[in-house]
Structure 1
């Protein structure tokens, strides 16, 4: 597609994950919502059996927002990753080699160990707790962990398919780790977006543009309609990145009190959209949620300037964002094992009591801690892995020129 240069250029995202507190906090909140949802659905009776108390219903609503929260990830990913691609294209600095090492090092440094961990935990669960409802594949858990033959989802071919981002496309998600479905979607979007830009207005002449269009169609054909229907959600974040400078100029003209009020309204709108999507996961509500997330994202392209106690809370949430991918990738097989120990059969699932909700909070905090430890061993070394891959590419390029 493009010539490999001696040192692949790294395109900076429009807002770095480690410096934008508000967007990092949003990413952390979305990850925690996913974790709480999975734990609650594994451990608690279904909402219809929980009772009609106002507090109980409210707790089930708040802890049921996980599936909708994944859409927030898609919009933020479009902003960060799509924004980096757009920035590189504007400056004619985009190179496939550097882009591929950046994306693959980011994804694989967590995904590969997560698949290994899933294999270990699921095999332990099948060996020691194979009689429990979760590992027997009870349909009551089908919306959280697979209801099909679990052992059949732990094959080497399935593992390789998940590492190759073909889960839900050519292979099932690996073991109990159904959360991995979204990584196949992300990987497809990462390929589709720059291919589309090259096909539309790429350098290298018409032959390379035609090649880009052919590859684009091939990726879309492999991904299929189920994946492509979420592409507009991802692209909404990229659109904000495209107009980030203009949006920031408009926000700078607003009085702080007005901007704070508008942001508060956007948060309320996002919460309402999350609830609507939870109640009915329809195409309309998905787009409504994506739109609400996009509006809030646009209002936050300039970071919050909170200080004092609110600022320290924002700092804490922002710092954890560097572990949110790890948390997302490993929490579900751990949660399945915990739930099989604490509620072995469907009939043992917890009722809505203060003690059980406190236990859910403690277990969620434990999983958040596990995500941080996993990130410490994996994500924090992403830069080293990328440098290694870049070095391999440079060495191969030098050998080809020799």
Structure 2
């Protein structure tokens, strides 16, 4: 690698000096100097291209790269070493110089191994992006099919139910093949208020929970169909009532009729709608403590399908409410349901749902221990629940090429961890557009119930 010349792996514009920076030789780097490496992140061993040098090991790593770097004096705690001073120190002892060359050779070999590991990690990232793209295409196809079914429900309810049964039995299975992608698409829709998007979200979340209960294939299909249809009674209500988060007592009484109305509309279709689906639609707002509606059922009086849908429905309404200003992160939603609303849900089912989603569910905005922010792209493995995969926010890097850090990897885990979860309302529009690009998608008419 020629000293001072841009390398083939250099990021666009990274070899150009930015305002306020100094170009220095790698031999001038010491602890306390803030440096920027003019290479693509794949071509150096650090997790970020710009950082404050804090260890002698980092100094040696930078020198082993064999090219000039940029220094930002304003962010540095120490001035770079003068060239002459370090050259004199290197010339003092020939044996020490030989030892240093040997160490540099070993370091270069290690860096080559690290580059290879990064290339492999980049391939894993590409595969993850492809899975997300596949899940998105499947999700959109299911959305279109479900949208058509909801549109024709008033005129041809039997055909609509049959179409939604196909969605529940077909596309749900495809989404469940990659749960993390499915969940992040749900989280990503954020500010969308669509009837169809809400129904699909609740279906996917309910199926993910039902899958953990080892229900049979037919039971899973019925859970999926009931989740898709759970708010079908809303279509008979005035949308001004449905969309009003501050309903008065009279309006709330009208709103609560959607459970019974929906079940009655489905019941007249005869055997096309299984009893478990009717129960799920009728009872999805019943609460474990008896404070739900329409019948005030308690505990074991509430059908399992309705309990599962109730948990999924509440989670989606917390993360994607009618008023987007009231939205909470997936991480916060689980906390609200467990700490404040636990009495409304079957505690065993709620615990299972929380385990399924993970401590930091996909779609959660997080701050890392080095100050960078990101979004959880995949839940942590069971053996490392605090170590999810995080897509890192970097405005200088196209999102399609953004770094995805697996905090469960030993090398990464030694340097980084999730510091805290962040609220969407506290982040800038640019950051949200980067981390949650699908949150502004708008689908069909508004409805969350």
| TM-score, scaled to structure 2 | 0.27
Structure number with greater CO (CA < 8 Å, separation at least 6) is: 1
Q: Which has the larger radius of gyration?
A: 2
TM-score, normalised with respect to structure 1 = 0.30
Say which structure is richer in helix: 1
Point out the structure with the larger strand share.
Answer: 2
